[in-house]
Amino acid sequence: MARTNLLYAQSGGVTAVINATAAAVIAAARERDDAIGTVFAARHGILGALDEDLIDTTALGADDLGALSHIPGGAFGSCRFDLDPPDRNPAQYDRLFAVFAAHDIGHFLYNGGNGSMDTVAKISAAARARGYPLVCVGVPKTVDNDLEGTDCSPGFGSAAKYAAVSMLEAGIDIASMASSAGRVFVLEVMGRNAGWIAAASALAARTADDPPHIILMPEAPFDEDAFLAAVDATVKRLGYCAVTVSEGIRRADGTLVMEQDHDRKGHVQLGGAGQCIARLIHARLGHKHHWAIPDYLQRAAGHLVSAVDHAQACAVGRAAVEAAIAGRDCVMPAIRRLSDDPYRWDIVFPDVAAIANLERRVPAHFIRADGLHVTDAAKRYLRPLIEGEVYPAFAAGVPDYRRPRLSSVPRQLAAYIP
């Protein structure tokens, strides 16, 4: 295969380690300058590719790449944008391949989740249909851990660690303040359809009485009475109760808890699931209630990255470059678990077309029979993913995230008008 350039882009919600993948892609491609010329990055994912808004990574030195590997967020910008089906909007693909051709791009690496894998599959099929010589590789990334075809997704381990550490620390705080009135703390974490991050908060506990006492996941329908009985029993036993809730929990009828809560006068109470659950407890059981919603903090916590997650984020980046050079079109380097303890894993290459747009949810055998916590099997799965610490350098009291200067590539085409 002729030596061509490589285009890398980031897509979807960003993570604490997506830039570790980016840095690994660039470093691995440089080592193979027999096969790969320049490494370009698109600004804001596929939007930058369409807009010919490209960055030349050549100017990034080894120090820049080392720093990049520990910066949260998406250094090249991300987007939430799906390509149209090729038959419905061929002009969109005309443009994309015109950009690829103008910059001699023969390898395209797209770093994202389920939707991004769909983009990979579409571009791969369109390239084949047009006879454009391109190898498309998907690179996994999602804090939600809902990608199929991989044992876990880079980004999840660090979000999981954040959830476990946060529940551990807030749990110690609330235990200090326990009083006869009863106190309840609710931690709302990300997860609209999959409760993986909520499940991971279970790793805060060493004993059965440690927080979190209850974990609510979207996979287990929310039963208000059973939940309140469990809260009540916990408060009676310990004086307090700590609950983790996924933002997307639903009742048995499918309605979201976060949208449907009403106060006594019938007014809709807007707010997240955590707030609704905390208020429900207060209204029905009378306990003092606090809730936390870390929101972006949980997926951007570069100061609390899991070493395993960071290593896997680097590994999928390197493996993606190797797959691209080997001409393995439309695959995704994925984590395969070889053993739980000691934790061992390697990289496999499932077909992207078979996993795009699927959503891997927490399986039934990871959820306790009453739907209010996880099983030991879940903890065995989750535990290794949060192992180890990778600290960023600090300066003046905060992480020294030195975002690299990005050199734009001169445009060669006319402006894109979608």
DSSP letters spanning 229-285: HHHHHHHHHHSEEEEEEETT-BBTTS-BHHHH-B-TTS-B--S-HHHHHHHHHHHHH
For a second copy, the closer of residues 124 and 298 by Cβ is 298
Which whole-number Å values give the CA distances from 147 to 144, 352, 408, in the listed order?
8, 11, 32
Check if the beta carbon of residue 274 is closer than 8 Å to that of residue 187.
Answer: yes
Q: Interior CA angle at 133 toward 44 and 51, to 5°?
A: 25
Among 290, 336, 337, 411, binds a second copy (CB under 8 A): 290
Nearest approach in angstroms of CB 114 to a second copy is: 17
DSSP letters spanning 339-397: ETTTTEEEEE--BHHHHTT---PPPGGGB-TTSSSB-HHHHHHHGGGG-SEEPPPEETT
Nearest approach in angstroms of CB 326 to a second copy is: 30
Nearest approach in angstroms of CB 239 to a second copy is: 10
Structure tokens at 341: 């303890």
Choose one: 7-15, 62-70, 226-234, 245-253; the region binding a second copy (CB under 8 A): 7-15
Which whole-number Å values give the CA distances from 217 to 19, 170, 323, in the listed order?
29, 20, 36
Among 58, 193, 269, 375, binds a second copy (CB under 8 A): 269
Cα Rg for the chain, rounded, in angstroms? 23
Structure tokens at 14: 């960003």
Among 179, 207, 342, 365, binds a second copy (CB under 8 A): 179
From the list 51, 53, 118, 144, the catalytic residue is 144
Contact string (CB under 8 A) for a second copy, positions 384-403, x = contact: --xxxx-x--x-xxxx-x-x
User: Rounded to an integer, what distance in angstroms lies between the CA atom of residue 32 and that of residue 173?
Assistant: 51
Residues 18 to 47 in contact with a second copy, rule: CB under 8 A: 44
For a second copy, the closer of residues 37 and 140 by Cβ is 140
**Residue 343 within binding range of a second copy, rule CB under 8 A:** no
Going by the annotation, the residues of the binding site for substrate are 142-144, 190-192, 247, 296-299
Among 93, 196, 222, 291, binds a second copy (CB under 8 A): 291
Residues 204 to 243 in contact with a second copy, rule: CB under 8 A: 204
Residues 93 to 152 in contact with a second copy, rule: CB under 8 A: none
**Continuous H helices in 43-88:** 46-50, 62-68
Among 304, 320, 352, 390, binds a second copy (CB under 8 A): 304
Q: Has 144 been annotated as catalytic?
A: yes
Q: Interior CA angle at 157 toward 154 and 160, to 5°?
A: 140
| Residue 261 CB neighbours (<10 A) | 19
Among 63, 104, 173, 346, binds a second copy (CB under 8 A): 173
Binding site for a second copy (CB under 8 A): 10, 13-14, 44, 71-75, 77-80, 161, 164-166, 168-170, 172-179, 185, 203-204, 263, 267-271, 275, 279, 290-297, 299-304, 306, 383, 386-389, 391, 394, 396-399, 401, 403
Q: Could you give the residue numbers annotated as active site?
A: 144
